[in-house]
Homo-oligomer: A and B are copies of this chain.
Amino acid sequence: MDIGIGLFGLGTVGSGVVKILQENMDQITKRTGSRLTVKHAVVHNLNKPRHGFTQDFPITDNASDILDNDDIQIVVEVMGTLDQAYDIIKRALNAKKHVVTANKDLIASHGQELVAIAEANGVDLFFEAAVAGGIPILRTLASSFTADEISRVAGIINGTSNFILTQMAINNLSYAEALKLAQDKGFAESDPTNDVEGFDAAFKLIILSNFAFGIQPVLGDLTINGIANLTDTDIADANSFGYAVKLLGVAQRVGDTKEAISIEVAPHLVPFTHPLATVNNENNAVLVNGESVGEVMLYGPGAGEMPTANSVLSDLTNVATDLALNTPGRPFNSFNQDLNLAKPSQRVARRFIVVEVDDTPGAMYSVTGMFAAAKISFTDLKQTPAANGTARLVALTHPASDAQLNVIRTTIRNADGINLAAEYKIFS
C-alpha cells in the first residue's frame, strides 16, 4: 500500500523525519507492508535553506496544499506553535486524515477535544514524540501496563533543566553559568522560562498522567516549581547527604486508600543509589511504579533531531499497521477514570529544608520551636556559617505533609531574622 504523508514544519524534527523515511525506506516498507512517502511539506519561511535530505516533494506555505490533497493520508505536525497547530490538526482530522504530532503544549491543553474529533472521524491521532523525545513511554504505558494498577509515574522530562542541574553538580557551576552553557550548546532557548520554570515538564506530565491514570488534568491542577531559585550551595548540601537534585514531574496516587492524585513538577532530592539519580545532562527518564510490575524505568535522549523524529516514525508505522489491518480510529490511550486531586495534607514526603537565621543567642531555639509546633521532626541536621552574620541550617525531615509545610512557611514569613531559603521533597 502507498501511504502519503503531509508534513507541517521542516525544522529539526521535520528534517529528521524525512531523513529516516528516505534512509530506511526499504526496512520500513518490509516491516509495515506499506510505502510511506512525503508528498508535500508546508512551512512558514520558504526561503530557509534545508539540508540533509533529498527534496523530492513540493514545499509551500499554504496549509490547504496538504489538507485538500487526496494523496495524503497522514498529516505530521512538527511546527512547534500552538494556535496554528490546533487549527491545522482539527482541519486534518475532520478531513479524515490521520495525525501525528510532537506538540506537547497542544495535546496537554486540547488533547481531550482532539482525541474525540479523531475518534468521531475514525482516524488515528498519535503523539509519542510529545513526551520524553526518543523514549517510547506513551505506547509502553498504553500497551504493556494495561492490566496493572499504576501507583506513580515520575520522570526527568525536561532535558534543559537536567543539563543545568547536572552541570551545577558535576562542574560546580552557578545556575547562571550553567544556563549560559546550556544556551551556548543549543539546549536552552534565549528565553528559558518554559524549561527552567517547569512549564515544559508540566505539559508532559499532564500527558503522562492521562496515560498512566486515565485522568484529564489541566495546568491549574498541578503544583509547579522550577529550578531558577536553586543555588549551587543547595546542591552541594544535598550531595553531602547522599542525594542528587533533579527536576522531577511526579504524578502519584496518595491518601489512605490511594484514592487521590497528586501531580507536581518540582526539584526533588533523589538518593544517589536510585536509577533516576544517574540520569545526567540532556537525557530523560520516566519511572513507572505498578502494583504488579514494581519499578520500571525507561531512559534515553529527551530531545534532539533524530530521537524525536524516531518517535514520530514509530507513530507513522503504527498508523500504517492500522491502515493495513483496517483498524484505525482507536484512541492512543483508552484509559479513562476520575480521581480527586490530593489535598495538601495528603501530599506527604520527607523534606530537605534550608533556613537562614540571624546568628544570635536563642535563634536556633526559636527555629526548632517553630518546626516542633508544626510537628515536623528532623532526621539530619547541619549548621554552617552563612553570609552577613547569619547561620545556614540544613535539615532533612521525617515525612511531613504540604499542609505542615504551609504552617512553617507562614510562621517563618511572620517572624523576624529567619528566612526559608529552600524546601524540596525527598524522592523515595
In the bound assembly, the distance between CA atoms of A292 and B13 in angstroms comes to 12
A317 proximity list for chain B (CB < 8 A): 146-147
A267 proximity list for chain B (CB < 8 A): none
Copies of this chain, complex-wide, total 2
Determine, out of A176-184, A295-303, A347-355, the stretch whose residues face the partner at the interface. Answer: A295-303
A337 proximity list for chain B (CB < 8 A): 30
A306 at interface by CB-CB < 8 Å? yes
Interface size on A, residues (CB 8 A): 55
A61 at interface by CB-CB < 8 Å? no
Question: CB distance A292 to B20 under 8 Å?
Answer: yes
Question: CB distance B301 to A298 under 8 Å?
Answer: no
A316 at interface by CB-CB < 8 Å? yes
Question: CB distance B298 to A298 under 8 Å?
Answer: yes
A149 proximity list for chain B (CB < 8 A): 24, 27
Q: Which of A296-354 contact B (CB under 8 A)?
A: 296-301, 304, 306-307, 309-311, 313-314, 316-318, 325, 327, 330, 334-337
A135 at interface by CB-CB < 8 Å? yes
In the bound assembly, the distance between CA atoms of A307 and B291 in angstroms comes to 9
- A45 CB to nearest chain B CB (Å): 26
Which residue in B275, B292, B300, B318 is a CB contact (below 8 Å) of A310?
B292
Question: CB distance B300 to A299 under 8 Å?
Answer: no
Question: CB distance A147 to B292 under 8 Å?
Answer: no
Which B residue sits closest to A316, measured CB to CB?
B147
Determine, out of A65-73, A86-94, A137-145, A391-399, the stretch whose residues face the partner at the interface. Answer: A137-145
- A213 CB to nearest chain B CB (Å): 11
Which residue in B143, B279, B306 is a CB contact (below 8 Å) of A143?
B143
Given A278-B275, A307-B292, answer yes or no on A147-B20 (Cβ-Cβ < 8 Å).
yes
Question: What residues of chain A have their CB less than 8 Å away from a CB belonging to chain B?
Answer: 16, 20-21, 24, 27-28, 30-32, 128, 134-136, 139-140, 143-149, 275, 278-279, 290-301, 304, 306-307, 309-311, 313-314, 316-318, 325, 327, 330, 334-337
Q: List 19 A-B contacts (CB under 8 A).
A: A30-B337, A31-B335, A32-B146, A128-B144, A136-B144, A136-B296, A139-B143, A144-B311, A144-B314, A147-B317, A275-B299, A290-B310, A292-B310, A294-B300, A294-B304, A296-B300, A297-B297, A297-B299, A298-B298
